[in-house]
Structure 1
Amino acid sequence: MVMEDIVADLSDFSNLDPAGFAALVKNASDAQLNELLGGEQRTRILDEIFGRMPGLFRPDRAGNTEAVIHWIITGAPDGGSDTYELVIANGTCVLSEKPANEPKLAVTVGPADFLKVVSGNGNPVMMFMTGKLKAKGDLALAANIANLFNIPKA
């Protein structure tokens, strides 16, 4: 699969279902994924992914979980990172417009590994153990975070 195909498929990302997204990520190389989130489509793709998270949230698995989670995705075109804030409370998950709360958990991850985690193509626990994913704060929440969402499988 060439980069142009991935960009073309993701350019209309809002119409891509979770299984299709998972398959695209599975078939792409790390270099392609890093290039994708290092380019002009980055904000649109990240906004779409995080915009879907409240709909993929599993309140039945969250129990009485109350948490602010910051996702920090590195590898921005300017060399920086983007931070997205999810607030889990009262059986709901809400995406904040701007990170404003103190996080119970902050997850820092590179572009390719982030896409692998949210598409079900990467094991976040293994990434944490190998240093590809950094978690600061509530590590029990970090270990359970994937269970709180319906993550697609490729």
Structure 2
Amino acid sequence: MPSDNPCVIRPARPEDGPRLLSMMRQLAEFEGYAEDFAVTLEELERRLFVNRDFGVYVAESDGQAVGMLVYYYLPFTYDLTPWVYVKELFIEPPYRYLGLGGKLMAALARECLREGGRKIRWDVLATNEPAAMFYRSQGAKCEDNWRIFSLNASEISRLAGYE
């Protein structure tokens, strides 16, 4: 259960690996691909901390990761700025509705701006209306043809707290 201690948003560290893997499994169950889930702790740690194929922000409470935001960068040639692609956002059930998702998104928005990015983009499972409502509350708009959400430069600045 959540304590009265404030949560900290920070980049993932190697010791977070087992908790990240647990949250990834929970997400796989929720999204219906648990039987295909093949991530191992060793592969997760290699790709995240050695190869740096993607990044992860964690929400930490009482010294333990209780939420995660997994992302990576995509280059786009029409404006030569990096786009950030959110792959997964997950908060442990007891920690939901405490504002952690918004804090994780704001941390990513700040990183996007530091890296010269102008767009954050992600997909939402069509049946996950609570997620769609959350992303809209962050300022995102649904691109109906693809069911993809994104933030533009001014929306990223607002989310990052710079406006």
TM-score, normalized by the shorter chain, greater than 0.5? no
Give the number of the structure with larger relative contact order, counting CA–CA contacts within 8 Å between residues 6 or more apart.
1
The answer to which structure has the higher strand fraction is 2
Structure 1 length as normaliser, TM-score? 0.31
The answer to which structure has the higher helix fraction is 1
Structure 2 length as normaliser, TM-score? 0.30
